[in-house]
């Protein structure tokens, strides 16, 4: 984004309705899980957010614990929002979450009403916002009654602290229960955020059916399997890569010979399509109409450009989908 956002930003993006709600999300959303904490230069974070908005990406996804350290992604985002997006709040979808460990003691984790409402209040303060558009419970709590967790989501919507309620990382059966509770409370579940990629296909085992049957959207995180579904590791492990840095989210022992053989086979299909592997991987997730959006992470604006360019490329054919599935099984 220059002094003013690009005037044709909405012509570059596809927008998909989230389930049976009134809300549309961009097909590509920007996640602030990495590259927006205190360890990243604020100028780079600002450039990524401005460029994303120039490309028609209106949805920025956060969580209370994003950083590092936890909370810093929200603080940095709030600063950039005030300095660079003043006057554009109503053109943005901002989401945050609570459910993982955020502070010490029994009230800073999981899914109690105490934790969720306190966490959202802290998130709003860090970002300098009166409300978020979407508030998620970040993961199911095995001990807190599901009714209590869902009532907390219902409460923050009724208080105007969030416009929509959502869930993340819920398996199919638990998601169905949560959706039913929220419906009965009068605050329908807007969207579910699961991990979904060519290498993480658990949502196909009932979750996508639950979401489709109940009119709930789906936004996939880690659609590139943490960077594995790119050309990043085809020639080894780069020194500046996530694996080389010792990330707990992608370890060297996960890059097995079997997995990398599949990546190379998928790369061959992508090359036949005149596409980057990352673009084909995003297209594969979006092939299902029940998927509203894919969440990408980015450290460079070129990565955002590649993702957006994918939307104007041909959809995967049935023959290509069969070839991909033969590699993945």
DSSP calls for 106-128: TTSSTT-HHHHHHHHHHHHHHHT
Q: Is residue 248 part of a domain?
A: no
Q: Is residue 249 part of a domain?
A: no
Contact of 59 with 326, CB cutoff 8 Å: no
Q: Is residue 36 part of a domain?
A: yes
Q: Is residue 324 part of a domain?
A: no
Q: With 0-12 CB in 10 A as exposed, 13-18 as middle and 19+ as buried, what is 131?
A: middle
Q: Is residue 262 part of a domain?
A: no
Q: Give the pLDDT band of residue 245 (cuts 50, 70, 90).
A: low
* Structure confidence by residue, pLDDT tens digits, 254-290: 788 999 999 999 999 999 999 999 999 999 999 999 9
**pLDDT (0 to 100) of residue 133:** 99
Q: Is residue 236 part of a domain?
A: no
Q: Is residue 270 part of a domain?
A: no
* Structure confidence by residue, pLDDT tens digits, 168-194: 999 999 999 999 999 999 999 999 999
Q: What's the whole-model pTM score?
A: 0.94
Q: Is residue 127 part of a domain?
A: yes
**pLDDT (0 to 100) of residue 247:** 57
- Selected residue with higher pLDDT from 162 and 38: 162
DSSP 315: P
Rounded to an integer, what distance in angstroms lies between the CA atom of residue 296 and that of residue 278?
10
CA 155 from centroid of its chain's CA atoms: 24
Rounded to an integer, what distance in angstroms lies between the CA atom of residue 25 and that of residue 293?
7
Local structure of 208: helix, strand or coil: helix
- Selected residue with higher pLDDT from 240 and 49: 49
2 pLDDT more than 60: no
* Structural domain of 55: 9-227+277-316
Rounded to an integer, what distance in angstroms lies between the CA atom of residue 176 and that of residue 99?
18
Q: How many domains does the chain have?
A: 1
CATH of the domain at 46: 3.20.20.100
- Selected residue with higher pLDDT from 249 and 166: 166
């Amino acid at each position: 984004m220059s002094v003013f956002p690009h005037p044709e930003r909405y012509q570059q993006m596809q927008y998909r309705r989230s389930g049976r709600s009134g809300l549309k999300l961009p097909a590509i959303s920007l996640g602030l899980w990495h590259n927006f904490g205190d360890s990243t230069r604020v100028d780079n974070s600002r450039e990524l957010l401005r460029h994303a908005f120039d490309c028609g990406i209106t949805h920025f996804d956060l969580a209370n614990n994003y950083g590092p350290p936890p909370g810093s992604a929200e603080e940095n985002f709030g600063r950039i929002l005030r300095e660079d997006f003043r006057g554009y709040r109503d053109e943005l979808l901002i989401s945050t979450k609570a459910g993982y460990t955020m502070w010490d003691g029994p009230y800073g984790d999981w899914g109690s009403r105490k934790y969720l409402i306190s966490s959202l209040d802290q998130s709003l303060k860090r970002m300098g916002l009166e409300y978020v558009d979407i508030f998620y419970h970040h993961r199911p709590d095995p001990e807190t009654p599901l009714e209590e967790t869902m009532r907390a989501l219902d409460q923050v919507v009724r208080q105007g602290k969030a416009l929509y309620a959502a869930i993340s990382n819920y398996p199919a059966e638990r998601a169905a229960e949560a959706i039913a509770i929220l419906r009965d409370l009068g605050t329908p579940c807007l969207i579910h955020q699961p991990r979904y990629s060519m290498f993480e296909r658990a949502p196909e085992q009932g979750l996508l059916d639950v979401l489709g049957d109940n009119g709930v959207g789906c936004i996939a995180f880690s659609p590139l399997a943490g960077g594995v579904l790119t050309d990043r590791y085809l020639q080894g492990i780069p020194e500046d890569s996530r694996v080389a840095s010792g990330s707990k989210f992608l370890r060297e022992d996960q890059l097995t010979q079997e997995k990398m053989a599949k990546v190379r086979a998928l790369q061959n299909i992508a090359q036949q399509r005149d596409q980057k592997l990352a673009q084909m991987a995003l297209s594969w997730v979006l092939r299902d109409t029940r998927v509203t959006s894919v969440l990408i992470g980015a450290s460079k604006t070129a990565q955002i450009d590649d993702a957006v360019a994918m939307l104007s490329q041909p959809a995967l054919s049935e023959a290509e989908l069969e070839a991909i599935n033969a590699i993945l099984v």
